[in-house]
Amino acid sequence: MTIPAFGLGTFRLKGQVVIDSVKNALDLGYRAVDTAQIYENEADVGQAIAESGVARDKLFITSKIWVSHFAGDQMIPSLQDSLKKLRTDHLDLTLIHWPSPKSAVPVAEFMGALLEAKKLGLTKQIGVSNFTIALMKEAIAAVGAEHIATNQIELHPYLQNRKLVEFAQSQGIHITSYMTLAYGEVLNDPVIIEIAKRHAATAAQVTLAWAMQLGYSVIPSSTKRANLESNLKACELTLTEDDMAQIAALDRGHRLTNPQSVAPQWD
């Protein structure tokens, strides 16, 4: 089962704001939705999906296990709680959200528990998020690369994470890019703006198309229906080799997400 190239992110959205965002997105044709336990919006996302009328088997729902639920006896109950909130009997993809702080819970323990959840039918696929190459190697040793569907990482024109991407792809592990628009910074980038002009597109469409053209999945979010609709059009945009090379040259290791409580030693 492949991970959709394009989906809806819900980070930092709660209450009626996230309900409206998800319902608008599904109405526009989005079929993949990404949430997480720590976002505290799973119940809202579940409500929006229920009210949308879109059949469950047409959707791809992803959530992420928070670090406080990593211990072997807590993982599955926490996932079951997420399922109740999301009003579904399974997820399509369940991720480990961040590495265990100070390795309090061994990678083998939480990956083993997540694999057990997959075997129980609580999730169709499992994966990781914010994992370095070293941590990915531990996860692979624990459950096998064939059971790790993706590594969801911060990846945008200013932080292209090439070494990690190369390793993941060598193991057959898909890359999901979050924060693809770099918190909106790319929208004012003169190189991307110029490419957008040539294609009669927006800077956001160009950046999302760039990531998808590299084979990554993207999960942009928006509270505005017009932006949700516009972002979706990135799926129809094809960039030239020169466009791709110009965006590749923007990489400068500019990391935006680095929470000290959970962030690993980055590659």
Q: Number of folded domains in the chain?
A: 1
Q: Which residues contact 67 (CB under 8 A, 6 or more apart)?
A: 97, 98, 99, 100, 101, 262
Low-confidence ranges of the chain (pLDDT < 50): none
Q: What CATH number is attached to the domain comprising 178?
A: 3.20.20.100
- What whole-number distance in Å separates Cα of residue 75 and Cα of residue 66? 9
In a domain, 1, yes or no: no
In a domain, 262, yes or no: no
Q: Is residue 39 among the annotated active site residues?
A: yes
pTM for this prediction? 0.98
pLDDT at 197: 98
In a domain, 2, yes or no: no
In a domain, 21, yes or no: yes
pLDDT in tens, 175-199: 999 999 999 999 999 999 999 999 9
Domain of residue 172 covers: 8-248
Place of tokens 């040793």: 141
pLDDT at 145: 98
Catalytic residue among 39, 158, 183, 216: 39
In a domain, 228, yes or no: yes
89 φψ region: left (φ > 0), alpha (ψ -120 to 50), beta (else) = alpha
pLDDT at 72: 83
Q: Which residues contact 236 (CB under 8 A, 6 or more apart)?
A: none
pLDDT at 108: 97
In a domain, 79, yes or no: yes
In a domain, 266, yes or no: no
In a domain, 220, yes or no: yes
